[in-house]
Amino acid sequence: MKRLFSLIVFLATVSIAWSSPDSLLKKLLRYDSLYCISLGDTLRYPWSGAFNTPQFSNIDLNGDFINDLFVFDRDGGEVRIFLHTGDSGEASYIHAPEYEASFPRLHSWALLKDFNRDQKPDIFTGRKGGDISVFINVSTGSKPEDIAFEPYLFRDANDTTKRTNWLTYKYFVGGGMVFTNVYCLNSDIPGLADIDGDGDMDILSFGNGTGSIVYYKNISYETYGHFDSLDFRISYQCWGGFREDATNFKLHLNQCVGQAPIIHPHQNQRGASRHEGSTTLAYDFDCNNRVDLALGDISFDYAVVGYNRGIAQLDEITEQDTSFPRYDVPVNVQRFPAMFIADVNNDFIDDFIAAPNDESFYANFNQIHYYRGEKDGSCTKFRYQQNDLLQHQTLEFGSHAHPSFFDVDGDSLIDILVGNYGYLSGGFKHNAGIAYLKNVGISTNPAYELITRDLIPLHNAGDTGLYPSFGD
């Protein structure tokens, strides 16, 4: 279910209240102003729209020095903002749609990283064709109208006298130098982190047609003495010395070595292993001050973490956990998990989130897995908390939800029935259901309670696409 459901419900309710006092109409100017109860609790943001393939980053938007949540949904390209409202250690949020129009149009994936270290996270996002765009945070305050982003311009790959809005890097060929695009397959998510410990942000991304990681080293600080540039060179074509298996999701260690060869990144490499889609999270999981990798694969539901434990300063993945986190509840997200680090509960400790990345066949209900970070000495361990982060405070009705309005119980109040294509939270079959939202308010002040998600249990027959309609 996306925002169409929320919009239809809002418009229908406004029509009910059209002849009501002005105070009610003013109240309904916000589409999230209608109360809704589920399992005895009043939902905090029932009409925010649900989630399919969400991606998570931290940003303090309202200037209270507390990290809020930026959520980008690959399916539909939507941005949603949730402001933290709880105490330290509490994952409590309100939906803040007034901030969302301040963000530019984004594509495929979007991560917030403060690359220029001005305390304002910038946007890194995908582009059609496997390119990366960057938007600099130029916000001047904490009000919605103060939030702004501008495209970062790079040297054009075809004409260095011109500038373009996708990320390029310099590489050397035939005794000369050219600029070309930093590559990231649209279905992938790259790893953005300071790989070499010099203070500027580097990029790890799978090469085109390869099962190995390309390391794009940012030389801004070494070259200019500051961090407000994005000047990249390929340092290694096979960072970490591993390759992904071509058919099974595991890593072949010690498979490749060496620095960047002379090769155009948009050409497939002969003899390279298959690469159809991977998500990459660069993070020091074992606390040895070296960047490890958490990987998701397009054909699997689990995560693999490769540990960087090479000798001296050599980045080498020497061990792997194919059931991460093995010490707790392993990631199991259908399908193609993407992993994110964010402080969800405002305790200044990193938390871990896993959610689907596959737009075509993903769990669409209870699919956002939240692991709370807990300190274990100087290291952070991630402990599983729930599979419905943010979802437990909104109305979630699976795929292609569609509401109908009808007085179900004959009390002269209009109720809501919600049909859908189906729920998919595991397995390979969608189960459709008709949800019943009873109007528990009054004619001039509607409110709703979710009574059941399965008013008419037809899904046992394996039906999909149940959409109620009424007529005389």
Distant-in-sequence, close-in-space partners of 383: CB < 8 Å, separation ≥ 6: 328, 371, 372, 373, 374
Task: Please give the span between the terminal C-alpha atoms of the chain, in angstroms, as a whole number.
Answer: 28
Same domain? 384 vs 240: yes
Distance CA 112, CA 347 (A): 20
| Residue at 52 is within a domain | no
Same domain? 38 vs 77: no
**In this structure, are strands 78-84 and 93-95 parallel, antiparallel, or unpaired?**
antiparallel
Provide φ and ψ at 8, rounded to 5°. -65, -45
Give the amino acid at 262. Answer: I
Contact between 401 and 423 under an 8 Å Cβ cutoff? The reply is no
pLDDT single digits (tens) 217-229:
999 999 999 998 9
Helix (H, G, I), strand (E, B) or coil at 438: strand
Give the amino acid at 151. Answer: P
Distance CA 170, CA 129 (A): 19
Same domain? 37 vs 144: no
Cα maximum dimension of the chain: 82
| Residue at 352 is within a domain | yes
**In this structure, are strands 251-253 and 242-244 parallel, antiparallel, or unpaired?**
antiparallel
Same domain? 276 vs 400: no
Domain boundary among 388, 419, 435: 388
Structural domain for 353, as ranges: 57-388
| Residue at 455 is within a domain | yes
Same domain? 94 vs 19: no
- Work out whether the CA dihedral 226, 227, 228, 233 comes out positive or negative: positive
Spatial CA neighbour of 230 closest among 173, 163, 293: 163
Q: Alpha carbon 346 to chain centroid distance? A: 19
Domain boundary among 388, 404, 429: 388
- Print pLDDT tens along the chain (472 aa): 455 555 455 445 545 444 444 444 444 445 567 899 998 999 999 999 989 999 999 999 999 999 999 999 999 999 999 999 999 999 999 999 999 999 999 999 999 999 999 999 999 999 988 899 999 999 999 999 999 999 999 987 777 778 889 999 988 777 777 888 999 999 999 999 999 999 999 999 998 877 899 999 999 999 999 998 999 999 999 999 999 988 889 999 998 855 544 444 444 443 444 557 999 999 999 999 999 999 999 999 999 999 999 887 789 999 999 999 999 999 999 889 999 999 999 999 999 999 999 987 778 888 999 999 999 999 999 999 999 999 999 999 988 899 999 999 999 999 999 999 888 876 677 888 899 999 999 998 999 999 999 898 765 556 788 888 887 6
Domain boundary among 366, 388, 410: 388
| Residue at 231 is within a domain | yes
Same domain? 81 vs 111: yes
| Residue at 373 is within a domain | yes
Here the CATH number for the domain that contains residue 311 is 2.115.10
Cross-strand pairs, 7: none
Contact between 337 and 296 under an 8 Å Cβ cutoff? The reply is yes
Spatial CA neighbour of 343 closest among 6, 3, 89: 89
Same domain? 234 vs 350: yes
Same domain? 367 vs 430: no
Cross-strand pairs, 415: 406
Same domain? 161 vs 243: yes
> How many domains would you assign to the chain?
2
| Residue at 123 is within a domain | yes
∠ Cα 356 110 193 (to 5°): 100
| Residue at 472 is within a domain | no
Report the predicted TM-score, pTM, of the whole model to 2 decimal places.
0.89
Same domain? 13 vs 117: no
Same domain? 40 vs 140: no
Distance CA 237, CA 248 (A): 22
Same domain? 326 vs 427: no
